[in-house]
Structure 1
Amino acid sequence: MASEVSRKYQEEILRLLSEIVAELKESNILLKEHNSAIDSIKNRIRKIGFSTTNWR
């Protein structure tokens, strides 16, 4: 009985960890897209002569 409860507990922890990893991967992708957009904006601003050194 105790081993069955322990097994179910471990399965639930693994399921939750898998969900967390999936969320982190998605967040990382979104962050990379965001940073890419920011870099693009900064490059456009530099082209017209403004300093962006203190950004981010």
Structure 2
Amino acid sequence: MLILLILVLIFLILVLLIFLIGTLAALILLLLIFLLLVLLLILFILLRRLLLFQSIELLL
């Protein structure tokens, strides 16, 4: 009976750990995707400014 209880406890702890690690991984993944989107947005803005400057230079 005691061995069964210990096994159940170990199983529950493992499930909790996997859940926590999974949640952490999901959060990190979301953070990475968010950072990637922010970087893409910054690059897009910089490219637009660069293109604007180039078009102004071409006009001059």
Report the structure, 1 or 2, having the larger helix content: 2
For this pair of structures, how many residues does the alignment match?
A: 48
Larger Rg computed on CA atoms: 2
Runs of 4+ in structure 1 off by over 4 angstroms are none
TM-score by length of 2: 0.75
Sequence identity percentage? 6
Work out the CA distance in 2 between the residues paired with 1:44 and 1:13.
Answer: 46
Unaligned runs of 5+ in 2: 1-12
- What do residues 1-56 of structure 1 show as CA deviations (whole Å, max 9, x unaligned)? 111101100000000011111111111111110000000010011112xxxxxxxx
Higher relative contact order (CA 8 A, sep 6+): 1
- Code of the residue aligned with 1:44 in structure 2: it is I
